[in-house]
Amino acid sequence: MQDGRLSTRHLLGIKYITTQDIELIFSAAKQFKEVINRPIKKVPSLRDVTIANLFFENSTRTKLSFELAEKRLSADVVNFSSSSSSVKKGETLLDTVNNILSMKVDMIVMRHPAPGAHYFLSQHIDAQIINAGDGTHEHPTQALLDAYSMQEKVGNLRGKKICIFGDILHSRVALSNIFCLQKLGAKVRVCGPATLIPKHIDKLGVEVSYNLEESLRWCDVANVLRIQLERQDIKYIPSLREYSMYYGITKERLDKLDKEIVIMHPGPMNRGVEISSDVADSDHSIILQQVENGVAIRMAVLFLLAKDRNDLAA
Amino acid sequence: MLILIKNANIIAPQSKYHNSKKDILIEDGIIKKIASKISSPKAKSINSKNLHVSIGWLDIGAVSGEPGYEHRETLESLSSTAAAGGYTGLAIFPNTDPIIDNKSSIRFVLNETEDHLVDYYPIASISKDCAGKELTEMMDLKKHGAIAYSDGTANITSNGLLLRALQYAKGDESVIMHNPNDPSTSNGNNIHEGIISTQLGLKGSPSLSEVLTLERDILLSKYAQSKLLVHNISAKESVEKIASQIDKNITASVSYLNLCLTDDALQSFDSNYKVSPPLRSEDDRQALTKGVNNGKVQIITSNHIPLEEEAKKKEIVYAEPGTIGLQTSFAGLITHNNKISLNRMVNCMAINPRKLLSLDIPQIAEGEKAELTIFDPQASWTFNEDTNQSKSRNSPFWNKTLSGKVIGVVNGDNHYFNTY
């Protein structure tokens, strides 16, 4: 992994990286996973690197996961949180970030509600940028940790059938998952009520289904997405009650299948809505492994990007 | 004042000099002589390798910053921009602050621009404050100089209001102009709904939201038997719908930018490509081009909307839609659309807009008032800080070199020649 280099300076989205990049990140993550399971979980790789975590939208696990990854690589870390509304009213994104960069920050990990905010920023600033979610566009580290977790469970993803269930329209995870899984050779399907599926998503080369039972029978892995009520400015489904009845993944539905499928969820879960507790906590579920792998994947991404920076400096 | 235009290819479908190469001598704003070779040592001589002349172009729907947004554009800078872009006439939209919805506002525009090279034809709003609720005093506005009625960049969602406007305008045979767009389905008009919007995770504006409104507008116009300009269509389906109409009351226009670029340009999340109507797919662009060429879409507009940097240099969903276009419409078309002939452009940018507004069409003939645009389709220039005449710079062509240069304009005693 010392010889490997990413093809990009930033991680703006899975769309902008290659299959080789993904494989390189996975191979680094494997080594970092071993590191974080040691009694002493810290390595000095990013000792001279200062990272700012800028969260313009709420986050618990992604923020924590990035911060842990950064600290385990011995980076200096500063955090900034702000609700999008206050930023919209006052300082521009560019001004906020330039202010922070003046304090000699090397890398930025950012979550922002506007699709393309990271791309926009990359056109105007010098620091390296990692996308921790931009609106309904991409969430690349989530897709990487999802694919990595799937590979751990079912092996090489080439030809494997992965179905993403739920609110595709408001999900950045779905889009990044689609791009990532396709690059790794998997067959991808999306399933949910038609109001929550972007009209032209089939043009990305994914199958579209509105039938939950049939899609469960089709897939090897079910990635269940959260209903993003906070991102729905208008009502796309009549009620959560109806959604859970017709699109909720329940033990009863899984028991009807003649095979075992892997259940994933990027969190946070709405238990009893898109996924029932007995499924979330079952042996089929790898939800907690996803979280563990998240730290390793983020360490790998940070390490590889910082390495690129050091090479350039040298 | 004597001006001698040398070796001009005359593009004037209604003139006997159409498609001929002549020298044109202008004295004190009047075309004095048109001949194969004219010598006039005292005259200011206008030369260019591939020089063309047509009657002056007229734009419908440009937005002025003044009054209210003078930092974006003043009437003076708007005139300079228009003249540099080849326009001698502007029918401007009412979207200023205050809105042009009363006779004082109309008189303000006319008084302020009285001595400008560019002739102004203010379009008054249909509804008070462009709020889509109550009709303006349309007859009074007309009496004081309004050429037509439109809420401009604001959409009219009330069927009843638009119907009453069409019926009321019928009294004086005025035109109602409306940009078809249904805000409840267009998702903020950030980008065309298609594969690009899906890849970028942006909620798109489907062609449906334009066609829904366009069909309604046509139905209302037919019911009222009143003149309608379906302003700035952008979708293939709209062209098809317009093409199926045989109704002399209905005219359609298209923004030049939609004939030049597609939603592919938004891959870079650059808000200078965020416009309303949105740039759509290559299929749409081709259908619009075809519509222009077969005469179903009769008018090409600049869709000139000046905006300050603060409104544009931000995340794309927060940026305001619009670009400046008056100075780059001709060059944009020459550079990015080789399917539209000069003849067709002159029809769509000079003749048809005047026909719609019942304005006299200037003639290129000896003894006539000189109202001319002089251009060279093969010359190139760069749109940048040095050449830009607008107070704004929100353009997808900023710092780009374009083919097709406007040399200048003459409008009676006034003339303007670009120095770049």
pLDDT digits (tens, 9 = 90+) for A102-153: 999 999 999 999 999 999 999 999 999 999 999 999 999 999 999 999 999 9
Q: Which residues of A touch B204 (CB under 8 A)?
A: 200
B348 secondary structure, DSSP code: I
Q: At residue A10, does pLDDT exceed 60? A: yes
Whole-number Cα distances in Å, A263 to A113, A173, A211, A215, B184: 27, 15, 17, 13, 37
Residue A213: other Cβ atoms inside 10 A? 12
- Taken in order B142, B144, B148, B150, the sign of the CA dihedral is negative
Residue of chain B whose Cα is closest to the Cα of A139: B201
Determine the pLDDT at residue A227.
86
What whole-number distance in Å separates Cα of residue B374 and Cα of residue B358?
A: 24
Candidates A94, A114, A199; nearest CB to B316:
A114
The pLDDT of B287-294, averaged and rounded, is: 98
Q: At residue A86, does pLDDT exceed 80? A: no
Determine the pLDDT at residue B245.
86
Cβ pairs A/B, distance under 8 A: 66
Cβ–Cβ gap A135/B195 under 8 Å: no
> What are the DSSP E strand ranges found in A192-236?
207-209, 221-224
Average the pLDDT over each of A86-95, A242-251, B99-108, B235-244 and give the range with the smallest value: A86-95
Distance of CA A119 to the CA centre of its chain: 17
The pLDDT of B144-168, averaged and rounded, is: 97
Cβ–Cβ gap A204/B195 under 8 Å: yes
The pLDDT of B41-52, averaged and rounded, is: 96
Determine the pLDDT at residue A1.
41
In the CATH scheme, what architecture does the domain B2-52+365-417 have? Roll (2.30)
CB-facing half-sphere around the CA of B55: CA atoms within 13 A: 26
Q: What is the ipTM of this complex?
A: 0.88
Q: Which residues of A touch B195 (CB under 8 A)?
A: 200, 203-204
Residue A148: other Cβ atoms inside 10 A? 24
Confidence of residue A312 (pLDDT cuts 50, 70, 90): very low
Q: Which residues of B touch A117 (CB under 8 A)?
A: 315
Determine the pLDDT at residue A2.
41
Q: Which residues of A touch B (CB under 8 A)?
A: 15, 88, 92-94, 112, 114-117, 119-120, 123, 134-138, 172, 175, 198-201, 203-204
Confidence of residue A58 (pLDDT cuts 50, 70, 90): confident
CB-facing half-sphere around the CA of B86: CA atoms within 13 A: 27
| d(CA A15, nearest CA chain B) in Å | 8
What whole-number distance in Å separates Cα of residue A230 and Cα of residue B118?
A: 51
Determine the pLDDT at residue B14.
86
Residue B340: other Cβ atoms inside 10 A? 18
CATH code: domain B54-356 is 3.20.20.140
Fold annotation for A140-291: Rossmann fold (3.40.50)
Candidates B193, B195, B202; nearest CB to A115:
B202
Confidence of residue A88 (pLDDT cuts 50, 70, 90): low
Determine the pLDDT at residue B405.
98
Determine the pLDDT at residue A230.
65
Determine the pLDDT at residue A313.
44
Determine the pLDDT at residue B19.
96
Q: pLDDT tens digit string along B269-285? A: 999 999 999 999 999 99
Residue of chain A whose Cα is closest to the Cα of B194: A200
Bridge partners of B382, per DSSP, are: B401
Contact status, residue A21 vs residue A4, Cβ threshold 8 Å: no
Residue of chain A whose Cα is closest to the Cα of B266: A116
β-pair type (A221-224, A161-165): parallel
The pLDDT of B292-320, averaged and rounded, is: 96
Q: At residue B48, does pLDDT exceed 60? A: yes
At the fourth CATH level, the homologous superfamily of domain A14-137+292-313 is: Aspartate/ornithine carbamoyltransferase (3.40.50.1370)
Q: At residue A87, does pLDDT exceed 70? A: no
| d(CA B205, nearest CA chain A) in Å | 11
The boundaries of every CATH 3.40.50.1370 domain in chain A are 14-137+292-313, 140-291
Contact status, residue B403 vs residue B380, Cβ threshold 8 Å: yes
The pTM (predicted TM-score) of the whole model is 0.93
What whole-number distance in Å separates Cα of residue B22 and Cα of residue B6?
A: 7
Determine the pLDDT at residue A291.
95
Candidates B193, B310, B315; nearest CB to A200:
B193
Q: Which residues of B touch A199 (CB under 8 A)?
A: 193, 198, 206
Alpha helices in A102-239 (DSSP H): 117-122, 140-154, 172-183, 212-218
β-pair type (B21-27, B30-35): antiparallel
Cβ–Cβ gap A116/B197 under 8 Å: no
β-pair type (B44-46, B2-10): parallel
| d(CA A137, nearest CA chain B) in Å | 4
Determine the pLDDT at residue B57.
98
Cβ–Cβ gap B199/A15 under 8 Å: yes
Residue of chain B whose Cα is closest to the Cα of A14: B199
Bridge partners of B57, per DSSP, are: B87
Place of tokens 């996803």: A290
Q: At residue A311, does pLDDT exceed 80? A: no
Please provide the DSSP assignment of B142-207 as one string.
Answer: HHTT--EEE-TTS----HHHHHHHHHHHHTTTPPEEE----TTTSGGGSSBSSHHHHHHTPPPB-H
Mean pLDDT across chain A = 92
Cβ–Cβ gap B201/A175 under 8 Å: yes
Cβ–Cβ gap B198/A198 under 8 Å: yes
Q: pLDDT tens digit string along B335-383? A: 999 999 999 999 999 999 999 999 999 999 999 999 999 999 999 999 9
Confidence of residue A310 (pLDDT cuts 50, 70, 90): low
Cβ–Cβ gap B315/A201 under 8 Å: no
Q: pLDDT tens digit string along A224-236? A: 999 877 666 668 8
Q: Which residues of B touch A182 (CB under 8 A)?
A: none
Q: At residue B157, does pLDDT exceed 80? A: yes
Q: At residue B161, does pLDDT exceed 80? A: yes
Cβ–Cβ gap A115/B313 under 8 Å: no
Instruction: Report domain extents, chain B.
Output: 2-52+365-417, 54-356
Q: Which residues of B touch A134 (CB under 8 A)?
A: 201
Cβ–Cβ gap A116/B315 under 8 Å: yes
